[in-house]
Amino acid sequence: MLELDALPPIIEKRVSLFLIFSALFGFAALKQLLDLSWLVGVYLNFLNMNPFLFFCLAVYSVSSLFSTEANESPSGFTVDLIHRDSPLSPFYNPSLTPSQRIINAALRSISRVNRVSNLLDQNNELPQSVLLPDHGEYLMRFFIGTPPVERLAIADTGSDLIWVQCSPCASCFPQNTPLFQPLKSSTFVATTCASQPCTLLSPGGRHCGKSGECIYTYQYGDDSFSAGLLSTETLSFDSQGGAQTVAFPNSFFGCGLYNNFTVYSSDKHSGVMGLGAGPLSLVSQIGDQIGHKFSYCLLPFSSTSTSKLKFGNEAVIRGNGVVSTPMIIKPSLPTYYFLNLESVSIAEKTMPTGSTDGGNVIIDSGTVLTYLEQTFYHNFAASLQESLGVELVQDIPSPLHFCFPYRDNFAFPEIVFQFSGASVSLKPINLLHKLEGRNMLCLMIAPSPVKGISIFGSFSQFDFQVEYDLEGKKVSFHPTDCSKGGSRPTEEAPKEGSGRRGKKTPMPYSRESATQVGKKQVNVTKSCSNSTKSAQWECEVQPAMLTASLGYPDPKVVQKDNKVEEFEKSEANDKYQIMDIETAEASMGETGGASPRESKDKRRSSSSSNVHTPNIVDS
């Protein structure tokens, strides 16, 4: 048995962090209740900060979180979205063919859709996301802290929480940049359990530490999860190609101290930027400053340009050809954006989807394929095959379902997705991919494994500006050449300032924003009547009605700052013991590993009435 009393004090503190945390997560009782307060206590002890001092500082700081006044009108900004398979992405693998990338994307899609199915089948208490850390499709750069530290995160409309890995970390996946060090930032504040923001976490996903700090837990579809301190920081974004920087002080994010993932997670990103409908997502937090609007314009994977993610005035699409459909938020899956898909037309043939009560399709930028409810899909596929007059090939690569021989100059019928109030006409670039070496075209639509639910994926959204209006509760579509940066508002958004890094333009929080949770309208009041000397929030805010589950596997190997500590289980005391003290001490360094910086076409189809000549990405 390792004797801590025989160790020097500084080594004792460092070893204690691992002993306590591994022992903490080794108990079966954690399957019923996760209490990260021991972690936070040791975390604070390691930093030589008195817990009472921490509490006092947090109480004082939280009272001024939202002291700034709101802008009178929403402003706008634009950031780059990098597809993971783009040559601009750190995930890019030049040895893969375009078709291999498509197949891999389809495999990620089916994994994501299966997790949606699991969420619907479960009755849980923890917030969940269908995203796995290495399964996102789009990346975005942002800066966190003061001075600002650049991060590369997965941008996901299927997640709510913003989080990054923080140091010192008890269990973190490797990343190729140092972990975020909160105590080196002058604007970092850990929130308290008494604060109103903590109540926005679901009941099963929030816990109180020994010093009164708010601890979050967030599960990712399987047994993976992130846990740590719910905190506030300044988040900033480069807009207009870096010519302008916008900053959002006091943004809530998860400072991840225990990020346990059962599958491999890449070292090429360091967290998640939640764009979902929940109250802690980026778009909900900054809603008043952006008019509760955001939009994106997605390019095909092979493009050498970046897609665009727009907020505020710059997100608004106007003009001829804009169609809108109601947005629906479901109590069972409050993170996701649902639409009503009434029918799908192939040329002159219209096929109703059936019941559309309460939304029957999720619009999701993180799922590549479009999935149609199984019974409806088979009717759709049979009608499309009849319209094309082709025989399907026998050796269709999994997980695709509809491939047919390619021939030059064949007529492809117009396919229209009829949402409530909005007809969206899809071109071949939204539907087909040509497999190189196989002389076949494959349909990027598949049968959904989720009963009664379809998913409108990103492939079908190529070359559309898609606007989400959370306040107006609608989603709008506009055919757009996304290689030119997407649609522009009729009136230019007011300039919020410009400059290089260090000359930020603050975009302060307003005092109130609203987020629909289930069938209830929850007012997320930011300042209420709290004074500068009190953290007592006199707001009545109902937490999000999220459902999820959490299993806690015993961590046999714990990742810390890109170094691995092995633990040996003692049958006598059911605890873990560090086998290599020098490894443990070395792992408590200040950096998170090597520090190379995270690396920094138009395709339009011709059309005539109901027939298109395919203009398809040729692999």
SS in 3 state form for 375-430?
HHHHHHHHHHHHHHCCCCCCCCCCCCCCEEECCCCCCEECEEEEECCEEEEECHHH
Specify the 3-state DSSP secondary structure of 12.
helix
Please report the sign of the dihedral spanned by the C-alpha atoms of residue 195, residue 201, residue 202, residue 204.
negative
* The token pair that represents 613 in the structure block: 């000549």
Buried b (16+ CB within 10 A) or exposed e, 8-20: eeebebbbbbbbb
The residues facing 219 across adjacent strands are 128, 225
**Using an 8 Å Cβ cutoff, are 262 and 222 in contact?**
yes
* Phi, psi (rounded to 5 degrees) for 138: -125, 145
Task: Give percent helix, percent strand, percent coil of the chain, each to the nearest 5.
Answer: 20, 30, 50
Between strands 464-469 and 293-297, the pairing is antiparallel
Strands (E), 288-391: 293-297, 307-312, 323-326, 338-339, 341-346, 349-352, 361-363, 370-373
The whole-angstrom separation of Cα 566 and Cα 572 is 18
Determine which one of 364, 463, 469, 561 is catalytic: 364
Determine which one of 80, 85, 156, 288 is catalytic: 156
Residue 554: active-site member: no
* The token pair that represents 398 in the structure block: 């999994």
DSSP string, 59-75: HHHHTTTT-SPPPSS--
CB atoms within 10 A of CB 382: 11
Helix H or strand E segment including 366: none
Q: CA nearest 455: which of 159, 61, 10, 110? A: 110
Residue 364: active-site member: yes
Active site (catalytic) residues: 156, 364
